[in-house]
Amino acid sequence: MVDKRKRDRERTPCTLGDEVIRLAGIGEDVADWPPQFHEPVATAADVNPFLWMLHHLEEPAADRVDTHHYSRLLPPESSVGAFGGADQRETATIGGQDRESLESDAETFIDELGPNPDERQRPPSSSVHRPGLTPPYRPPSASHHPDVETLDDNRRPAAASPFDTSSLFPHHFNSFFNTPLETGFFGAAGLPGFGFFDSHANRPWWKGDNVCTEREEKEEDIASSDNEEVAVNGGTSGGGSSSFGFHGFSTFNLNVQTCAEKQHKYVCTSIKNVNGRKRTEKITRQCCHGFGRPRNGPPNAHCQKLDLYSMEETVERLGAKEFISTLKKSGLEATLESNDVTLFVVPDSAYTSFAEQMWENNLVAFDPMARAKRAIDFASMTARDMILAHTVNGSYFIEDVSNEQLLKTDLPGANIRINIYPRGPMSSARDQSYAEHPYRYTANCAPLLKLNRVADRGVVHVVDRVLVPARNTLMDIIEARDDMTLMRTFLEMTGLDKTLREQGDDKHYTIFAPNDDAFLKLDKDIRRKLKAGNGCAMNILKNHILDITFCSLAAVNGVKTSTYNLLNEKLEFEYAMVGKTRAPTAANADEAGETIDEGDGKKTQRIRINGQATIEESDVIASNGVLHVIDSVLPTDSGMPISNTLANHNLTVFKQLLTDAGLEEEFDAMSNRTFFIPTDQAFEQTETGRYWIRQLKEHPESLRGNSALKEFLEYHVAEPLIKTCALEETSVPTKAGQNVRVNLYTTNPIFTTVMNRATVNCARLVRFDEETCGSVVHEIDKVLDVPKTNLMDALSANPEYSMFQRLVSLTNLTELLTSPDAGLTLLVPKNDVFLEVDAWYQETLQNQDELERIIRAHILPNVICCTGIVPSEWPFVRTTETVSGQQLKLNRNRRPQVQNAGITKCDVVARNGIIHEINDVINVQPQRTSTTGASSGNPFESFGSLARPLPFWFK
């Protein structure tokens, strides 16, 4: 029986549809169909027999006979191919002796389709359309391409197809199952057994026709500077064989390939290790010149031929006839014929305005001030130079240019800087060009009006004004202007002039330069500090400088645009209606400028910065960035002295003490300092603070030259400058000569190594990192009283601690409590606590071993302030060790608690530690062996070492 079926297969030719039906197991069902449904057709449905079946089941017979013409497949010996052509291979049958998989059959069909399915020659008899089956996508005619300028020559558009051209069934199945490696779901191999879903039209556009390929290769040694070794898991980066490191290609044979697709370009970069050398290969596939892809077409639209015009005609059609006329008069026509170029052309209206300005610049009666401002721009500039400054060798589509990229022009020493900015949210919604270009582009800060206009010898972009050659640096421009003499002086005093002279591809700055009138508005003391060139001057000037190119186009009307300066402080830009500002004269230099209307009674729309300064002159282009002239100096706390910062943050008590003590000027001159400033509320809540408030009110005259007040104030000033990110557990020297102790704590019950609370002498930092002139300010919730005694002396000085002090004196721990660098926490019960257990107290005095065990249970080897004790419940129980290694539980309910005792008075600061007053004797278990030891210096068992910097977030 098996042999008979085999012989039948060998005798009967089997079509592709028969083979699919057999493999699908529906042969018996097909045998029951009417005979007319068995008719094979030479159409695209042969590739997909399931679609053929659906068509026959859904289409009425009458319509099928009247409107469609079918052609039967010729026998194998006389077939000329399903789609015509010279190839005589059999494409629709599978011989019984030479069977292949369905995937191979589909590949055979693709070969028969030819390189371009849209150019196939189809016999009239095989031209078949079936409802529900959409032909492959055909690109629109070239005349409708958005990148080509066309004339209205009364051409009739092609009749629209009555059918929907977005194929659902064949397109989605083919894209899902058997698309190429770069775009397919299952990779290059597709899904086995589903090759018949493949279609030529769904090939990626960059694998289609009219695509040109460029290949770049670079080979270099592994030891070059681009292949630095990266240490892994703490391994060293040296060359020794014993170190474990990531040696790039020398240790691991890495082959990396990345691909990126753009509108008209597909770029693949591969990096390989070839015989110990790194080879970088870059393959770029893009539409050949004269071909392009429609921007608003389907994602897989192929390259189509464009109707290109000459460069001269393209420029004229874009409304730049004056520009091309000047080009011809300058003898530069050959530039447009020899090589591909990119032109940045100027509309006639803008070009005429520029020509008039050039002519006016040469008049003897021209305004000298305006001449001084413009001389740096137009000096020695001819019409030929102007054209060369708009010409770039090579074709540059705007999508291929990155932000801050410099394009070298044909004018020596002149470049065009391209910048890219986002569109505003309001304009994005109503601007029809947003879909085509979602960003805004500038060339030397001139907005690009039209982009990517392709000509026969290059690309044309339209700018809204003439691009003045940018040959001078920002500092050169400032030096050449007569209205920026003060700015030049301040830059030179601070050394920032060197920054503004730097040039290179990665050197791009924006400076908002106040003119001389703007500096006259400043306070005299601020102007004096600027001239001195100290830290205040540096910060004030850095507040006006960005490390990016910020053109005026970046500011969007109707919304706020923000960026960050060299101080990492935010600058906000918005358009506002403003009038002229009458600049102060020498006579009224201390008065603010007055805003007045223009001569016609109307205000103008200008860009405002932080609501404080107005841009009066914008987009002065330099070789290393752009300059904007502003009418006011931008204030910043980091550029103000400490007295201004105190006033701005309502730290009035401390500021008044400085003023009455006559120390304000001395403190203002400090730099590289850390100021721990108590809030006004902190003064009211502490005894020392209330004392100085009374002195301010009752005896202010006694504060000038007061040595105690000077020591008190200087004890709040530490050196050097320490921001919160650099805080660690340590002692910091102060200007008063004594140290303050910084402690870090965590309030997180799980991540106990993340420090989010800081204290200085147990005063908690409540606001922090407020920058001032060369220093930083941290606000604290307590005043810092200068400690005069050590822990042992503090016990002796308080009669309420006499009974505990007696116990300490009977042990050998006196030396520990007098050590200057001990850094201890002493838990002290008051006398009334011991009086309640007097019998036990007297008994303990006679037992030396028990006495020392009790005292050691009240001494902690680290400073633990009350603010570091937070609620601690099971399972997140916090403990600390005593000097003898015993574990004490820390918790906070109504008050801080240590083991069984509550703390009734917190943070009595001594030179070598602190004292907490408690309401009970610490009850501890008998001493046990500790794995960490008493000398670990660890207040919380799970903290690890606190002698190193830790990740720090404040709460």
Q: What is the DSSP letter of 468?
A: -
Share of the chain above pLDDT 70, in %: 65
Length, in residues, of the chain: 955
277 vs 620, residue with greater confidence: 620
* Whole-number pLDDT of residue 918: 94
The pLDDT tens digits for 336-348 are: 887 889 999 999 9
CA distances from 509 to 633, 837, 883 (A): 18, 76, 58
Give me 502's structure tokens: 């730097």
425 vs 520, residue with greater confidence: 520
- One-letter amino acid of 332: L
Average pLDDT of the segment spanning 491-509: 90
* Whole-number pLDDT of residue 654: 96
Least confident of 211-225, 273-287, 392-406: 211-225
Average pLDDT of the segment spanning 781-806: 93
Place of tokens 């359309």: 129
Least confident of 130-139, 330-339, 799-808: 130-139
Burial class (CB in 10 A: 0-12, 13-18, 19+), 260: exposed
Cα–Cα distance measured from residue 779 to residue 737, given in angstroms and rounded to the nearest whole number: 21
Share of the chain above pLDDT 90, in %: 38
Please, what are the domains in the chain?
A: 205-218+254-307 (no CATH), 308-424+436-463 (2.30.180.10), 474-578+605-636 (2.30.180.10), 642-780 (2.30.180.10), 791-918 (2.30.180.10)
Residue 197 has pLDDT above 80, yes or no: no
Q: Could you tell me if 436 and 146 are in contact, meaning their C-beta atoms sit under 8 angstroms apart? A: yes
Q: Could you tell me if 42 and 74 are in contact, meaning their C-beta atoms sit under 8 angstroms apart? A: no
Average pLDDT of the segment spanning 255-282: 86
* Whole-number pLDDT of residue 824: 94
* Whole-number pLDDT of residue 709: 95
Average pLDDT of the segment spanning 454-460: 91
Give me 633's structure tokens: 């100096």
The pLDDT tens digits for 563-576 are: 999 988 999 999 98
* Whole-number pLDDT of residue 434: 54
Q: Could you tell me if 673 and 775 are in contact, meaning their C-beta atoms sit under 8 angstroms apart? A: yes
Residue 587 has pLDDT above 50, yes or no: no
* Whole-number pLDDT of residue 632: 93
Judged by DSSP in three states, 655 sits in helix
Judged by DSSP in three states, 432 sits in helix
Q: Could you tell me if 621 and 445 are in contact, meaning their C-beta atoms sit under 8 angstroms apart? A: yes
Local confidence band at 704 (pLDDT 50, 70, 90 cut-offs): very high
Q: Could you tell me if 94 and 19 are in contact, meaning their C-beta atoms sit under 8 angstroms apart? A: yes
Average pLDDT of the segment spanning 104-130: 38
Residue 881 has a CB neighbour count (10 Å cut-off) of 23
Local confidence band at 780 (pLDDT 50, 70, 90 cut-offs): very high
With b meaning 16 or more CB within 10 Å and e meaning fewer, what string describes 780-800? bbbbbbbbeebbbebbeebee
Q: Could you tell me if 830 and 824 are in contact, meaning their C-beta atoms sit under 8 angstroms apart? A: no
Residue of 95, 98, 79 lying closest to 87 (CA atoms): 79
Residue 676 has pLDDT above 90, yes or no: yes
* Whole-number pLDDT of residue 357: 76
Judged by DSSP in three states, 621 sits in strand
CA angle 695, 698, 701 (to 5 degrees): 75
The pLDDT tens digits for 878-913 are: 888 999 888 899 998 888 999 899 999 999 999 999
Residue 177 has a CB neighbour count (10 Å cut-off) of 19
With b meaning 16 or more CB within 10 Å and e meaning fewer, what string describes 630-648? bbbbbbbbbbbbbbbbbee
* Whole-number pLDDT of residue 773: 83
Average pLDDT of the segment spanning 550-570: 92
Average pLDDT of the segment spanning 599-612: 79
Computed over every residue of the chain, the mean pLDDT equals 74
Judged by DSSP in three states, 264 sits in coil
146 vs 793, residue with greater confidence: 793
Q: Could you tell me if 320 and 159 are in contact, meaning their C-beta atoms sit under 8 angstroms apart? A: no
Residue 356 has pLDDT above 60, yes or no: yes
Residue 91 has pLDDT above 60, yes or no: no
Pairing, β 561-564 against β 230-231 = unpaired
pTM of the model: 0.63
* Whole-number pLDDT of residue 201: 56
- One-letter amino acid of 159: A
- One-letter amino acid of 393: N
Local confidence band at 362 (pLDDT 50, 70, 90 cut-offs): low
CA distances from 232 to 235, 256, 271, 272 (A): 5, 20, 22, 22
Least confident of 423-437, 523-537, 927-941: 927-941
The pLDDT tens digits for 715-741 are: 999 999 999 888 888 899 999 999 999
Residue 424 has pLDDT above 80, yes or no: no
Residue of 86, 84, 75 lying closest to 40 (CA atoms): 75
Place of tokens 């002149």: 414
Share of the chain residues as helix, strand and coil, in percent rounded to the nearest 5: 30, 25, 45
Cα–Cα distance measured from residue 473 to residue 817, given in angstroms and rounded to the nearest whole number: 65
The pLDDT tens digits for 825-857 are: 999 999 999 999 999 999 988 888 889 899 999
759 vs 241, residue with greater confidence: 759
* Whole-number pLDDT of residue 378: 53
558 conformational bin, left if phi > 0, alpha if psi -120 to 50, beta if neither: left
* Whole-number pLDDT of residue 586: 38
Give me 353's structure tokens: 């305005």
CA distances from 599 to 576, 577, 607 (A): 18, 15, 20
Residues 6+ apart with CB under 8 A from 233: 244
Q: What is the DSSP letter of 72?
A: P
Give me 218's structure tokens: 């670079």
Local confidence band at 476 (pLDDT 50, 70, 90 cut-offs): very high
* Whole-number pLDDT of residue 33: 54
Local confidence band at 86 (pLDDT 50, 70, 90 cut-offs): very low
Cα–Cα distance measured from residue 702 to residue 94, given in angstroms and rounded to the nearest whole number: 113
447 vs 240, residue with greater confidence: 447
